Chain A
Amino acid sequence: MELDPRQKAQRRVDRIGLFRQELAELEQEQGLTLTPEQRSRLDAHLEGVLSALSRQFGVDATDSARRISWGMRLASLLGGAALVAAGVLFLHRIWGGLPTSAHVLILTTVPLLLLVGAEYAFRRGTDLYYPALLSLMAGVAFCVELNTLGNVMNLAPSPHALLAWASFAMLVAYAFGLRLLLAAGLLLLAAYTAALAMTARGSYWLGFMEESQFLLPAAAVLYALPWLLRHRDRPYFDFIYRVCGAFTGLTALLVLSLSGDLCCSALGPRMAEVSYQILGVLLSAGVVAHGVRLGQGGLVNLGAVAFVVFLYVRLHAWFWDGMPKYLFFFLLGLTALVLLLIFRRLRTRLRTRP
C-alpha cells in the first residue's frame, strides 16, 4: 500500500533505529569496525536526518517518544469525545430556551469552527493526527447540524443532504490528505447516486439500501477512477477509491444475492439470487487477484472476506436443507482449508514483491 509522506518518514526513522542496533551488534561481534572519523560522520549524518524528519513531519525518533505520542493521541481522542458529548448535552439542555435564529447560528457555526480548528492545527503542528481528528469532528458536526436544522424546520428528509456531506468530506480530505474522510465522502457519493436513481424511478430515496442494484454503477466508477485520475502527490488515495468501489459493489451484490431483486425480472427470483451470488464470487476473486497485482494487502483482504462470505452463502443455499448438519459444517471446514492453502500461496507472492 502507498504511504503518505509522514508514514514514509516514520518508516525511515524506524530503519535508522534498526540500523544503529545492527551496527552496534556488528561492532560487538567485530564483523565491522568503523574508524572514529567514519563513526562521527555517520552519527552526525543520521542525527541530521532524524532532526530534519522530526522537524518536517513530527515523527518520533525513539520508542519512548512514540509511546508518549500514542498516549497523547489516545488522551486527545477520549478528551475530544468527552468534549463533544458535553457540547451536545449542553445544547440539549438549552435548546428549548433559544429562538430559531440562535439555533441556525449555532448549527452553522459549529462545523465551521471545527474546520478552522483543523486548519490551525495543520499549520501549527507537523503531526497529521490532530487536524485529522478535528476534520472528522467537523464532518460529523456537519452531518448532525444539517439533520437537526431540517428537523427544526420540519422538512422531509432530502437526498441532497448526502451530496452536501459527500462534498464536504471530499474537499476536506483533499485539503489535508485524509483517507478516512475521503472514504466517507466516496461512500456518501455512491449513496447519493443510488438515492437519485430511486427518486427518478418514483420510489422513496432512502429505499436504496433495499434495492442495492442502484449502487453498482457508482461502485464501478469508483473502482475505475484511479486508472483515469492519477493522484500523483497522494498515490495512497488510489487505494481508497478502489477499496470504496469494491466494498460498495460487493456489499450491493451480497444484498441482491439474498433478496433476489433484479431490474430485469425475466430471470425469476431464484435464478437472480444464484446469478448475483456467482457474480459476487467471481468479482471478489477478481478483487483479490487485482490486489495481488497491485501489491495492496487491504484490497486482497477485502476481496478474500467477500469471497468467503459469497461462497458460504452459496454453500448454505445448496446444501443446508438436503445435508446432515455435521456434514455441512465438515464441508465448510474443508473449504476453509482449501482457501487457507490458496491464501498462503498469495501471501508468498505478496512477500516476494519488491
Chain B
Amino acid sequence: MKRALIWTAAGVVLLANAWVLLAAWQNRRDPRGGTVELTERELRLMPMPGESTVTLLGLEWDVLSEKPQDKGPPHWLDEKKLAELGFDCAIPVTSPIARQHYGSMAATPVFLVLEYQREAWRQAHAQRKTTTRLFVVDAGRDARRLRERYPDTARHILARGLVRPFYQDREGPDDTLLAVPRLGGWVQMVLPGQIFVPRPHSRLLEKFQSHDLSGREEAEREPRFAVTVSWGANYEPWVTAVRELTPETPPKKAE
C-alpha cells in the first residue's frame, strides 16, 4: 500500500510537469495573440539578486485615461464595458449599498488588447510624459471577437489580464463629494506580468543586467535592446528574438 502511494505521488509530479509542458507547447503552436517587437521601454530588465543569472523582462504598459494629462483609470472601461465583461452593474450608483456592492467585487480574468506605438500612445504622449508606448486599449471575455475587431496581429496584441471595478464618490486632494458617484474600472494586471528569457536570447541581455535591488529609478535613456515577443494560442507570451539597438540598428519607427 505504502509503495503504491509513493509511486502515485511520483506520478503526480510527472503528470503536473507534463501538463505544464503540454500547455506551453499548445500555446506556442499558433501565435494568434500577436507578434510585436518591443523595446526596453516596454520590457524592463528585472534586477536580480546576488549572482543570479536569470533573465526576466517586466512588461510595462499604460492606459489612456479620461484626462490624458493624468495617469488615471482607462476611459473606455466604463459602466457599460464592465457589464459587458460580466460584472453585475444592476445596482444604481446612488443606492446606499452601491459602495459595498462594487467595492467587494473580485477581479475578473479577461482578454486585453494591447496597442504598441499607435493612436493611444500618441494621444497620451501629447499630454504627458510616457515611458512605455504599449497601451491597453480594450478588453473582452471572448478572444475571438476581440481578434475580429482588431484583426492585425502585428498591431494589436491579445493577452490575458485582470480587470476590477471601482466606485468613486469623492474626488480631488480635499475629498470633495461628487454630485453623482462614478463607477469605473481599472486594469489590475497583465498575466503573466514578467517574461522569462531563455538561452540563447538571454546571452545578449547579460551585459545590461542589473543586480541593484534598491528600486531606484534609472536615469532616462534611449532603449538599448529590442525583443520580439509572440502571444500564442492561450494568449501567453514567449520571446522569439532579441537584438541590440545601436544608432545603426535603431528601433522600428511609429507608423
Find out whether the CB atom of B198 lies under 8 angstroms from the CB atom of A100. yes
Give which listed residue, B9, B17, B107, contacts A149 with CB less than 8 A.
B17
Nearest CB of B to A139, in Å: 9
* B9, A115: Cβ atoms closer than 8 Å: yes
Distance of A146 Cα from B18 Cα, bound (Å): 10
Task: Report yes or no: B106 in contact with A207, Cβ–Cβ below 8 A.
Answer: yes
User: CB distance A154 to B52 under 8 Å?
Assistant: no
CB distance from A318 to the nearest CB of B (A): 20
Q: Give Cα distance in the complex from A98 to B55, angstroms.
A: 12
- Kindly identify, within residues 110 to 136 of chain A, every residue whose CB is under 8 Å from any CB belonging to chain B: 111-112, 115, 119
- Give bound CA distance, A112 to B13, whole Å: 8
Q: A175 to B54, alpha carbons, bound, how many Å? A: 36
| B23 located at the interface, meaning its Cβ lies under 8 Å from any Cβ of chain A in the complex | yes
In the bound complex, CA of A268 to CA of B95 (Å):
12
Report the bound CA distance from A259 to B105 in whole Å.
12
| Among A9-17, A163-171, A221-229, the stretch in contact with B | A163-171
Closest residue of B by beta carbon distance from A141: B13
Q: Bin the interface of chain B by size.
A: 35 or more
Q: Kindly specify which of A55-63, A88-96, A343-351 makes contact with the partner chain.
A: A88-96
- Among B9, B108, B192, B236, contact of A171 (Cβ-Cβ < 8 Å): B9
**A198-206, A237-245, A246-254, A299-307 - interface stretch:** A198-206
* B17 near A100: Cβ-Cβ < 8 Å: no
* Residues from chain A with Cβ under 8 Å of B202 in the complex: 96
- Complex: chain A residue closest to B109, CB-CB: A204
Interface pair A92/B54, CB less than 8 Å apart: yes
- Bound together, the chains give a CA A265 to CA B169 distance in angstroms of 21
Bound Cα distance from A156 to B191, whole angstroms:
6
Q: Contacts A156-B160, A198-B106, A203-B106 known; A150 to B2 CB distance under 8 Å?
A: no
Q: Which of A100, A104, A142, A156 contacts B13 (CB 8 A)?
A: A142
Q: Which residues does chain B contribute within 8 Å of A161, judged by CB atoms?
A: 16
B16 to chain A, nearest CB (A): 4
> Is the contact region of chain A dominated by helix, strand, or loop, or is it mixed?
helix
- Contact status B54-A155, CB under 8 Å: no
When A153-B21, A156-B191, A156-B192 are in contact, do A211 and B106 touch as well, CB less than 8 Å?
yes
The segment from B68-76, B96-104, B129-137, B176-184 that touches chain A is: B96-104
Minimal beta-carbon separation of A10 from chain B (angstroms) = 22
Cross-chain contact B199 with A100 (CB below 8 angstroms): yes
Report the bound CA distance from A95 to B108 in whole Å: 34
Q: For residue A335, which residues in chain B have a CB less than 8 angstroms away from its CB?
A: none
Interface of B, helix, strand, loop or mixed by DSSP: mixed
**A97-B199, A100-B198, A204-B109 known; A153 vs B9 contact (CB < 8 Å):** no
A154 touches B192 (CB 8 A): yes
Q: Which residue of B lies closest to A204 (CB)?
A: B107
Tell me if A298 counts as interface (CB < 8 A to partner B).
Answer: no
- Cβ contact within 8 Å between A99 and B20: no
A135 CA to B191 CA in the complex, in Å?
32
Q: Does A157 contact B (CB under 8 A)?
A: yes
Contacts known (A115-B10, A268-B97); A98 close to B107, Cβ less than 8 A: no
Q: Could you say which residues of chain B place their CB within 8 Å of the CB of A153?
A: 20-21, 23-24, 27, 196, 236, 238
Pairwise interchain contact B192-A155, C-beta atoms closer than 8 A: yes
Known A-B contacts A115-B10, A146-B20, A265-B101; A92 and B50 likewise in contact (beta carbons under 8 Å): yes
Number of interface residues of A (CB under 8 A): 53
Decide if A7 is an interface residue (CB 8 Å cutoff): no
Whether, in the assembled complex, A151 has its beta carbon less than 8 Å from a beta carbon of chain B, the answer is: yes
What is the bound-complex CA distance between A96 and B204, given in angstroms? 12
Q: Assess whether B9 is in contact with A146, with CB atoms less than 8 Å apart.
A: no
Q: Which residues of B contact A149 (CB under 8 A)?
A: 17, 20-21
Which residues of chain B are near A104, meaning CB under 8 Å?
17, 21
In the complex, what distance in Å separates the CA atom of A168 from the CA atom of B109?
A: 28
Q: Is the CB of A93 within 8 A of B51?
A: yes
- Given A155-B236, A269-B100, are A168 and B12 also a contact pair (CB < 8 Å)? yes
CA distance A211 to B13 in the complex (A): 30
Contact of B51 among A92, A175, A211, A260 (CB under 8 A): A92
Q: Is the CB of B196 within 8 A of A154?
A: yes
Question: Are B106 and A167 in contact (CB-based, < 8 A)?
Answer: no
Question: Which B192-220 residues have a C-beta within 8 angstroms of A?
Answer: 192, 194-196, 198-199, 202, 206
The interface residues of chain B lying within 8 Å CB-to-CB of A95 are: 52-54
Counting CB contacts under 8 A, is B6 at the interface?
Answer: yes
Task: Using A100-B199, A161-B16 as known contacts, list a sample of 7 further A-B pairs with CB atoms less than 8 Å apart, ordered by residue number in A.
Answer: A98-B199, A103-B198, A112-B14, A146-B16, A153-B23, A160-B19, A171-B9
Residues of B at under 8 Å CB distance from A? 2, 5-6, 8-10, 12-17, 19-21, 23-24, 27, 48-55, 86, 97, 100-101, 104, 106-109, 160, 162, 191-192, 194-196, 198-199, 202, 206, 234, 236-238
